[in-house]
Amino acid sequence: MPFLHHHPHDDSQASPAAEPDDGRWRAKVLTVSDGVVAGTREDKSGAALVERLGEAGFHVVARQVTEDGIGPVAHSLRHLAEGFAGLVVTTGGTGFGPRDLTPEGTKEVIWREAPGLAEAMRAVSPLGRLSRGVAGTVGQSLIVNLPGSSSGAIECFDAIVDVVPHALDLLTGGRPH
């Protein structure tokens, strides 16, 4: 799986949601961090999410890094979601810091919010209530904002992983249950 900065060429864009040979849902990881882009901070949460997504049965087809800010986040998410059917998770930029603008960038991209997912992630721990992360859909992609700490990102992902496959099935034309 390639580790790509900013706006990579991604051959998986026009691919179906699941791998034809193994049926796993595809996922992409976007780390939002000025420090990671500058090379002064290691992308620990991105690496942890790639590992956890794999354990949960997802096939991670892209991993990207972008700087903090509404514009860079929105641009990266548009690129990652274009023609993609699957899960796009972000890590970082969901707190109260002045550069924590991942939710605002995400809201510029998503068509419909999925507040139940964001609420479930916030309810998982006391620190979760400090996350301003959002979740929503654009086309056949489900975008979910996760915290920037490795433990927070995994904890919040685990709070919703049980319903994500069903959400993706519905997004990609599956029948409602």
Domains of the chain with bracketed CATH? 28-171 (3.40.980.10)
- What averages of pLDDT result for each successive group of 10 residues across the chain (177 residues)? 39 42 87 96 97 97 97 98 97 96 98 97 91 97 97 97 96 74
The pLDDT value given to residue 13: 40
Task: Write the DSSP string, 81-131.
Answer: HTT--EEEEEES--SSSTT--HHHHHHTT-SEE-HHHHHHHHTTSGGGGG-
Does pTM surpass 0.95?
A: no
Residue 7 CB contacts under 8 Å (≥ 6 apart), including other chains: 64, 75, 76, 79
What pLDDT sits at residue 176? 57
Task: Give residue 76's Cα distance to chain centre.
Answer: 11
Helix (H) or strand (E) holding 65: strand 59-66
At residue 177, the pLDDT reads 53
Helix (H) or strand (E) segment spanning residue 66: strand 59-66
